[in-house]
Amino acid sequence: MSIRTDEKLLMMPGPVTVPSRVLLAMAKPMINHRGKEFSAMYGEIQSVSAELFNTKADNISVISGSGTAGMEAAIGSLNNKTDKILAIDNGKFGQRFKKLAGKYGTVVPLEFEWGQSVDLGKVEEKLEAGDIKSIAMIHNESSTAIRNPAPEVGKLAKKYGAYFILDVVSSLGGDTILMDEWGVDIAVTGSQKCLAAPPGLSIAAVSEKAAEEMKNITTRPYYLDLLAYRNSATKELKETPYTPAVSLFYALQEALRMVKEEGIQNRINRHYLMTKAVRDSMAAIGIEMFPTLNQYSAYSNTVSAMKAPAGVDGEEIKKALGKRGIIITGGQDHLKGKIFRVGSMGATTPLNIMNTMTELEFVLFTLGVIESTGAVDDFASEAMKDLY
């Protein structure tokens, strides 16, 4: 039985369903964004965010702009036009980083087939030239549901004296991020993924080393100047350099309070077990995962990408589920129709996963992909038994 179609269940890799208490937080009255009340809220956001990034609270800045704004701020604030940026591209968002690198610096592309693992040997080959200023990489490539090797790339960046810029938009709050330990100079995330807040804010964590280097950049963006954000966020009265989206700050504050209440490690474990339940369910009915892994990569902790079965368009699966009230996503660009993706981010519950897997199994049955239903229940339940 499908859920009511007027109550859509978002099972996308962002934006995600926003809890009611987070939505209600946005109804608070406006305040002076140059006053003590806003400063206190900003400080709380910094404190919890720092725990998620595993860095210092003073390193945290919040931008009124989506995750892409954070990506652009990171690239543009740390590189001059003649600086070479090694852009690792194995998915849609790696491609976006590559395009941004070309806007602000001299891009050195390192491209892999989408869904293929990053070859660390090829990364080192590029670095051996000795002229790479920065490395830009996606940690969790949600377009293909693969987790890229951030710790290993961080080691290579340190070895060759390069700055390391890491997109954690679809992993922060749903996977372990060790910014300082991995040698990340700038890490950026968005509000609408694992944090389960509305879209529209990005959080940037900037190391002291990177902040010092930004002083030497003559072509930093104006609105997206991370040095300006850092300077404003580290004042005694914390603020943003330009007018912030105050209502979204309220929402982010409440979402981060929910993260603290659940416990960061508990939240990461929940994301892992729910995503594992999706993979186990798909294995039970013979549906293949899309990414190709090597010893340094892993399946995403927050989203799953499956190959469309032979003879079936992935968009058809997405549309059929949508008619039953469950919203998933398909492939992007040349992967459209070839894969379909299920998110397990933010405030998603085990019941949401069970509903989605049951409905997906039924859709595949009606499309003639499988001969019977009922196989996914035990596999999904076993993966998530510690969450019930």
pLDDT of residue 388: 67
Whether 141 and 93 have beta carbons less than 8 Å apart is answered as yes
Percent of the chain, pLDDT > 90? 94
pLDDT of residue 387: 80
- Residue 135 pLDDT greater than 50, yes or no: yes
Exposed e or buried b per residue across 37-68, where buried means at least 16 C-beta atoms within 10 angstroms of its C-beta: ebbebbebbbebbbebbbbebebbbbbbbbbb
- Residue 366 pLDDT greater than 80, yes or no: yes
pLDDT in tens, 68-91: 999 999 999 999 999 999 999 999
What is the distance of C-alpha 144 from the center of its chain?
A: 12
Residues 6+ apart with CB under 8 A from 351: none
Mean local confidence (pLDDT), 29-53:
98
pLDDT in tens, 94-126: 999 999 999 999 999 999 999 999 999 999 999
CA dist list (Å): 281 to 141, 230, 231, 341: 22, 45, 48, 14
310 three-class SS: coil
Q: Rg of the chain's alpha carbons, rounded to an integer?
A: 21
Tell me whether the CATH fold assigned to 9-16+263-387 matches the one assigned to 20-260: no
Strands 9-10 and 326-327: parallel
Query: pTM for the complete prediction?
Result: 0.96
Element of type H or E holding 115: none
pLDDT of residue 234: 96
Tokens of 212: 């010092």
Residues 6+ apart with CB under 8 A from 382: 280
68 three-class SS: helix
Mean local confidence (pLDDT), 41-60:
98
Tokens of 332: 């992007």
Give dist(CA 275, CA 273) in Å, integer.
5
117 three-class SS: coil
User: Exposed, middle or buried, 112 (CB in 10 Å: 0-12/13-18/19+)?
Assistant: middle
pLDDT of residue 6: 57
- Residue 205 pLDDT greater than 90, yes or no: yes
Give dist(CA 216, CA 74) in Å, integer.
14
Please provide the size of the chain in residues. Answer: 388
Average pLDDT, the chain: 96
pLDDT of residue 3: 44
pLDDT in tens, 2-18: 444 457 999 999 999 99
CA dist list (Å): 101 to 10, 73, 127, 215: 32, 11, 16, 19
What is the distance of C-alpha 249 from the center of its chain?
A: 19
Give dist(CA 94, CA 89) in Å, integer.
4
- Residue 385 pLDDT greater than 60, yes or no: yes
Percent of the chain, pLDDT > 70? 98
What fold, for 9-16+263-387?
Answer: Aspartate Aminotransferase, domain 1 (3.90.1150)
pLDDT in tens, 264-278: 999 999 999 999 999
Tokens of 45: 């956001």
Q: Has domain 20-260 been given CATH number 3.40.640.10?
A: yes
Give dist(CA 173, CA 143) in Å, integer.
18
Whether 221 and 170 have beta carbons less than 8 Å apart is answered as no
Residues 6+ apart with CB under 8 A from 375: 284, 285, 361
Tokens of 211: 């902040």
152 three-class SS: helix
pLDDT in tens, 229-283: 999 999 999 999 999 999 999 999 999 999 999 999 999 999 999 999 999 999 9
Strands 84-89 and 106-111: parallel
Residue type, 187: A
pLDDT band at 380 (very low <50, low <70, confident <90, very high): confident
Indicate the angle between helix axes 264-284 and 350-366, nearest 10 degrees.
20
- Residue 383 pLDDT greater than 90, yes or no: no
Give dist(CA 227, CA 158) in Å, integer.
22
DSSP assignment of 78-105 equals H--TTSEEEEEESSHHHHHHHHHHHHHS
Q: Where are the domains of the chain?
A: 9-16+263-387, 20-260
pLDDT of residue 2: 46
CA dist list (Å): 310 to 16, 125, 328, 337: 29, 38, 19, 11
pLDDT in tens, 291-339: 999 999 999 999 999 999 999 999 999 999 999 999 999 999 999 999 9
